Amino acid sequence: VSQTPGNEVAAWAERVQQGDRRALARAITCVENGEALAAELLAALYPLGGHAHVIGITGAPGTGKSTLVNALAQAYRRRGLTVGILAVDPSSPFTGGAILGDRLRMRDLAGDAGIFVRSMATRGSTGGLSRMAADVVHLLDAAGYRRIFIETVGAGQDEVDVARLAHTVIVVEAPGLGDDIQAIKAGILETANILVVNKADREGAEQTMASLRMMLDLQRPEQATVSHHGTLMAMAAHTPEAPGRWQPPLLAAVATEGRGAEEIVDAIEAHRFHLATTPEGAELRARHAEIELGRALDEALRRLLAQRLAREEYARLLADVIDRRVDPRSAAEQLIRCLCSPGES
């Protein structure tokens, strides 16, 4: 039960919207702690969002994602756009070294009112991560940040889920990681809208570029054989794409020197334009909304069940499942029926 009356929440939401950094920081903490107040704030702020372009950055540990985000944020600032950054560390349940490192690497950004940086650890809870990140994005969006970066490490389910929140997904590779490209190929390469080989100053960068180029070419449909009047024909490698299809560009960068940052920002903006001018943008927005509505519905139902369900009824059915008198699905059905028509059953 919230201690803060509704008009205080409204005032708080107003401060977030006006760019009050402390109000925003407190709102994010509320979301992280799963406080009921967060829901009220988000209810007030969600309708104000929808203006930010969200960029997901993922890749193996140490490929230079944070350094790159730093460089990209500065490039955006030069273009007069405000930037929100959310660094998510799903592997670490502690607010430990990685996040401290991010703070250091992003210190160039400190003191710029047009940039807001936040690191988030998951405290051991999986699954909740992408909901939390989605909520933080809504807060940053309502606070007026026009480009929002979400950095995640690796290619696990959590990272893929977080990437699904983004409008543009950038996968960062670095030379010398060898087998990691395979791992990424298996997981997240398909979701990449832009591929970056960072640490292009390192040995092996060209080789990494070449293997990624090969994978991209393999993914492209014109590489496949097509049936033409019943005859299988191999298509040429670089025939023009059907108009309206996005081709993920492969770009090199040296994030520590800011090299390649302008080109990557150009690519992000080109992808943004692509989304705005094809049906893909609306489809993506609809998909995001559906994911969030589905998740909210799950949570609401669970809450409703917890509130309404008679403990004894639940305990009785649980015992039935334990003793294999009833299977879990039928038990769940029965519980839902109790919920819909209390007093019966």
Residues that bind ligand GTP (CB under 6 A): 61-67, 98, 101, 105, 153, 198-199, 201-202, 254-256
In sequence order, the β-bridge partners of residue 169 are 56
Nearer of residues 16 and 264 to Mg ion, judged by Cβ: 264
Nearer of residues 73 and 254 to ligand GTP, judged by Cβ: 254
How far apart are alpha carbons 118 and 85 in whole angstroms? 6
At residue 123, the 3 state secondary structure works out as coil
> Measured on CA atoms in the order 152, 175, 189, 254, is the torsion positive or negative?
positive
- Least CB distance to ligand GTP at residue 179 (A): 17
Report the phi/psi class of residue 262: left, alpha or beta, with left for phi > 0 and alpha for psi in -120 to 50.
Answer: alpha
Closest CA to 194 of 141, 265, 287: 265
Instruction: Yes or no: say if 169 and 58 are a contact pair by the CB < 8 Å rule.
Output: yes
Nearer of residues 44 and 212 to ligand GTP, judged by Cβ: 212
- Least CB distance to Mg ion at residue 152 (A): 9
- Least CB distance to Mg ion at residue 66 (A): 3
66 binds Mg ion per the rule CB under 5 A: yes
19 interface partner picked from Mg ion, ligand GTP, none, CB below 5 to 8 A per type = none
Closest CA to 265 of 172, 126, 147, 143: 147
63 binds Mg ion per the rule CB under 5 A: no
- Least CB distance to Mg ion at residue 187 (A): 18
178 interface partner picked from Mg ion, ligand GTP, none, CB below 5 to 8 A per type = none
How are beta strands 250-252 and 147-151 bridged, if at all? unpaired
202 interface partner picked from ligand GTP, Mg ion, none, CB below 5 to 8 A per type = ligand GTP
Nearer of residues 27 and 166 to ligand GTP, judged by Cβ: 166
Number of separate helices (H) and strands (E) present in the chain: 13, 9
What tokens appear for 293 in the block?
Answer: 């509505």
Helix boundaries (H) for 115-232: 128-142, 157-163, 180-187, 205-219
Closest CA to 41 of 54, 55, 23, 57: 23
- Least CB distance to ligand GTP at residue 114 (A): 21
What tokens appear for 254 in the block?
Answer: 């040296």
CB count within 10 Å of CB 240 equals 7
Closest CA to 135 of 17, 303, 292: 292
168 binds Mg ion per the rule CB under 5 A: no
58 binds Mg ion per the rule CB under 5 A: no
256 interface partner picked from ligand GTP, Mg ion, none, CB below 5 to 8 A per type = ligand GTP
Stretch that binds Mg ion, among 24-32, 61-69, 126-134, 321-329 (CB under 5 A): 61-69
112 interface partner picked from Mg ion, ligand GTP, none, CB below 5 to 8 A per type = none
User: CA triplet 170, 209, 250: central angle to 5 degrees?
Assistant: 40
147 interface partner picked from Mg ion, ligand GTP, none, CB below 5 to 8 A per type = none
- Least CB distance to Mg ion at residue 99 (A): 9
Closest CA to 109 of 159, 68, 160, 150: 68
255 interface partner picked from ligand GTP, Mg ion, none, CB below 5 to 8 A per type = ligand GTP
Nearer of residues 26 and 202 to ligand GTP, judged by Cβ: 202
Number of residues that bind Mg ion (CB under 5 A): 2
82 binds Mg ion per the rule CB under 5 A: no
Stretch that binds Mg ion, among 27-35, 59-67, 202-210, 318-326 (CB under 5 A): 59-67
How many Cα atoms sit within 13 Å of 238 on the Cβ side? 2
17 binds Mg ion per the rule CB under 5 A: no
- Residues forming contacts to Mg ion in the complex (CB under 5 A) are 65-66
